[in-house]
Structure 1
């Protein structure tokens, strides 16, 4: 009898709480209709609750009662219920989570670009912490943490069995304190340790500069609330620095994502209207479409987007949208593949639930989830080594050689510039992107010149003077 009473009590509690999750503001002047609609919704929720498996609810109450009564340490009901909530969310997917006061504050700080920690975006894989990407100019990035690394120990203690939130909490600490993380990396034969000094992380969302006089470089490290405007400002600065700008590289490598609206704003800078991304979900209001306004602020300049396996979420939206619209070529390696949207649902003043509520799709209907964005041109990041030394002699070095028929200056071996291998060795993907952009620009110039050469000269007027 007691078992059935426990199940009934839990069912009653759920029936009282659940309608508030789906509560929506209803506009209208007819209060009676509004009340009827709310009543209908509650009835629908109660029907769903009545269909819940009572046997499983009975088992839950038994486990709860057993832990409460027999666990080695006494745990209060508030803590146990919080554990139960965390357990539900942790089993859904890697991105749904219960946010306590500390986690909620951290999430809010990340959207504005300043928070404490090591500077890595992480997830869980096989019970270990997986690095999605290190954030630019942070302790983790400077220490050599790479995308794809598995963190198996923190200060010598295994992370196996910890939730993601618990692991993150252990990585936090006061500025200036050290933590030793043990990493498993595919390219290494055995695990190794890295000592990282904690710091306050201030993420600079956008960096920019001119490469080789005519080509703009815009690096987006993370999508924050103001990233779209930052990209607009960066583009204006590039035009001022190089009035004859011929192309743009958008570097989204190791960008873990961030605010969805910021990704839409960034695409809007380079797209002359059209669909950017759309979402599909089960809950009312989760099916949405996001569009770019008319007007391409870059005036159709060639664009190359750089991505890798650390490019996730919002950065995949940008790459996919520009790729689908034929607005940019995507170069690098396949992206991370996070194609789901998380909604933060506040449940009190300082607590919330981060819940996966929908999936997003590129304008052409591609799902990014667990697939990622496939680059148009696959380029791995490598170190470049010359195959053979440069030739020591040319025709111009030979004694008695013929002169150039057009009177051009001779080109001897010692006068020929050597290739700049610094960028090739430091960042081979950026080097290839720059070469591709130069090729696109050169091709456009040649095509424009070809069309100009085809235009016939305007004919002189042959109107007769009718009065003569």
Structure 2
């Protein structure tokens, strides 16, 4: 395993296309497979290229034309495969360091417009009040309809300190308005800690970066000193679009039994067939001098625990949540996650370009694929006490037109059609409700600010603490979450072969303590898994 990881960095990050991704970064390009090339099609391609060169209305740039052809070929495969030019490749490497220039929003395209997936916490876009689901119709008075996502990204980028004006259409308010945002260097602090109540800890992970595991270990050590009689812990993964997979393995390992399976991958090539346990070899990064989790207090393997998720918890976040849920180590509270269960490999093509290609699916420890499904919460809870009106606007993996199928779900197409019908109905209801709103209600909607996670106004966190304390919890009023709760999760029977449990379950132990939250008395799930056979602005 360590041999493979010397040259391959495993990443699960939201990238310049705004699509959440799980990536493998390879140190070098691999030799292409020996399958015969389709000569007739290549001849046709050359003929079309020649016709364009000789007959197009104006001269064309060969390199630009061929790059566009490569990009089109790769992006047609699925939402996460793409050809990375020099700028994209540099941005990918910057983001894993937790520092990049931009506005601080993750975006995608929808109906010819640019849709905000999520603002990144504590960034210019976040403080400007941009919300998930907002549609960007203009960038500095330039209409975005017909503009490629790459071009939109380039329009929004610029030197730190310069301004960009975005024209926003907000469906929930049924209004269009301008927002001016000052570009800045985005420095993402990946781990935050606080004590929301005596005896309880709160850890927020905003992304999985190179320093996430050491920073988490330091925060947990600090928490143990502040709260020696810790009674419960909340791990907040909301709006976390991913990051380094090694870091995700390490984060899960901080709370799981030693050598427990965290995730496995399965694809056609040998490198895609792997199982990752929470061992130092699997979460070690080049910047580590020693194992940051070595002297972690034992309490964090046992303390009752809740994980907070929402629709913007993706990739590496889903890996951590899925591992803790499958091992019965924590309850998942919040919303169903994004649902991206595939792995991409990034291989250099030239000195400054690379190919990002989907090469594998990943599976939770029980052998379950979350592709298009996401991690379902054990306790569905809304972000606001009055409910979440924006739920109908949420974009998940399954909403992308060329998403990969979940091979474990033979009824996926019918389920997708039913989900889309439900979503359209919810949008219709939302529009009717907007039409009936009074001026005062519209004013309140406009003034509603994004929730600052971890504060006293964080309703979902309050419900998580209630769960840990054995108090009543206000479950979700969301139609979509209730609908998902009614569906049975996909069976794991069609997953590849499973490995033996790392640790046997303790016979006769209670699955959960009296609070209903897994903790010291919880029985771990069998650590079985398949033998591995977003633009950020």
C-alpha distance 297-58 of structure 1, shift in aligned 2 (>3 A): farther
1:311 to 310, 313, 335: 313
Preserved contact between residue 257 and residue 313 of structure 1 (Cα < 8 Å):
yes
Q: What CA distance in whole angstroms lies between the structure 1 residues aligned with 2:369 and 2:118?
A: 21
Asked whether the 8 Å contact 1:339–1:360 carries over to 2, the reply is yes
Counterpart of 2:244 (choices 234, 259, 279) is 259
| 149 and 363 in structure 1: CA distance in 2 versus 1, 3 angstrom threshold | farther
Equivalent residue runs for 1:120-269 within 5 Å: 120-269=105-254
Q: Distance in 2 between matches of 1:370 and 1:186?
A: 24
Aligned position for 1:347 = 349
5+ residue gaps, structure 1, are: 1-19, 24-41, 386-421, 449-468
Among 65, 79, 84, the residue aligned to 1:94: 79
1:359 matched to 2:361: yes
Counterpart of 2:458 in structure 1 is 427
Bigger Cα Rg: 1
Deviation at 1:126, TM superposition (A): 3.9
Which structure is richer in relative contact order (CA contacts within 8 A, separation 6 or more)? 2
Aligned to 1:79: 64
Say if 2:272 is the partner of 1:286: yes
User: Post-superposition shift, 1:48?
Assistant: 2.2
- My pick for the range that moved more, 214-223 or 361-370, is 361-370
Kindly report the root-mean-square deviation, in angstroms, between the aligned alpha carbons of the 2 structures.
2.7
| CA separation of 1:356 and 1:332: change in aligned 2, threshold 3 A | same
For residue 198 of structure 2, give the secondary structure of its aligned residue in structure 1. coil
**Do 1:260 and 1:314's aligned partners in 2 also have CA atoms closer than 8 Å?**
yes
Q: TM-score, normalised by structure 1?
A: 0.73
* Aligned residue in 2 for 1:331: 333
Q: What CA distance in whole angstroms lies between the structure 2 residues aligned with 1:157 and 1:354? A: 30
TM superposition shift of 1:366: 1.8
The answer to whether residue 36 in structure 2 is matched with residue 48 in structure 1 is yes
Q: Which structure has greater helix proportion?
A: 1
Q: CA deviation at 1:300?
A: 0.3
- In the superposition, relative to structure 1, how do residues 299 and 83 fare at CA in structure 2: closer, same or farther (>3 Å)? closer
* Contact 2:256–2:301 (Cα < 8 Å) also in 1: no
Any gaps of 5 or more consecutive residues in structure 2? 1-27, 281-295, 388-452, 472-511, 520-537
Asked whether the equivalents of residues 264 and 363 of structure 2 are also in contact (C-alpha less than 8 Å), the reply is: yes
How many residue pairs end up in the alignment?
368
Match of 1:69 among 44, 51, 54: 54
Shift of 1:182: 2.8
The structure-2 alpha-carbon separation of the partners of 1:319 and 1:87, relative to structure 1 and needing over 3 Å to count, comes to same
Report the alpha carbon displacement of residue 215 of structure 1 after superposing the two structures with TM: 0.6
Alignment match, 1:437: 468
Cα distance per residue 1:198-245 (max 9 Å; x no partner): 111011111101111111100111111221221111111111111111
Residue 215 and residue 200 in structure 1: after superposition, are their counterparts in 2 closer, same or farther (change >3 A)?
same
Give how far 1:444 is off: 6.4
